Every structure is written in structure tokens, then in C-alpha cells.
Structure 1
């Protein structure tokens, strides 16, 4: 069977991490994607469940807290990150 090439764009770190996993399994990237493509054809679908990124309860709580702080007129506001650092440094020096 004749082979053909495909080109995909992928985050560099993700590529390196995937290559390490594939290497542990005795495969290279080409073999891994061939296995994936064959599974797609055989099953007629993506061979795993794809779901939305749903935040965990801790993240949801943090998001709600941030929203509450944004709506609170008494929450201290800063105009820049430098302003935050200067205040943190002043607090540190005074302790």
C-alpha cells in the first residue's frame, strides 16, 4: 500500500510529551497517528470521548469568589502589576 504524508500543527511541548509516551510504548509519532487513524476508520468515530473542559469544584469556587470581589466596591483595585508588587514589598519590609 502506498504511503502519503500529512502535516499537522501542534504545540511544541505537547509534541515532546506525546513523543515520550509513544516512545515508552515502542512507537514513534507516525505509528501512533496511524493507529489512531485506523481506529477512527474501524469504529467510524473518534475512539475516545471528547468533553468540554469543565472546571472542578475548587476552580468553580475560585471563579465565584473572583466574581464576587469584582462586584464589591470595597475591594481594593490596582492599576498595574507594579503597583501590587510595590504594596507587597512595602508590607514585607514593614513586618
Structure 2
């Protein structure tokens, strides 16, 4: 198999953030890029989606509930983030 080199111009911050994600999974950017191309060849598709993810029914209900509560102007159970976190971990 003959190997080839590919040069990609990308914003330094984007590269750094992508490398952090790859590193989280124990990979480097070259491995991720090769995997992307292999997936493209294996599926004959570009493995990307440009559509935003739609919330599921439970999430939609929770969003509607939150919107309704905010619109009511009522005070919530917690006065600040610290009290919310304390309640969540206890």
C-alpha cells in the first residue's frame, strides 16, 4: 500500500479543540482523519450531519414547562446556582 500525505489548513484554535476531543478518545488527529475517510469509503456517504439535533418528546415537554414557568414570573426553588448544586448532590 502506498501512503500519501494530506495537508489541511485549519484555524489553530479549532485544531487544538479537535485534538482535545480526539485525545479524550485516545486518538490523534491523523487517526481520526483516517477513520473519517475509511467511514466515507465503507458507507459511500460523508459521515456528517448539518442538521441540528431535534429534542425528543421528554425534552420538548421540559422545555415547554421551563418556558411556562419563566413566563409566569414566579420565584424558583433556588436563589442561586450554589443552592441548586447543593440540592442536587445531597
Give the TM-score, by structure 1 length.
0.47
Which structure has the larger Rg?
A: 1
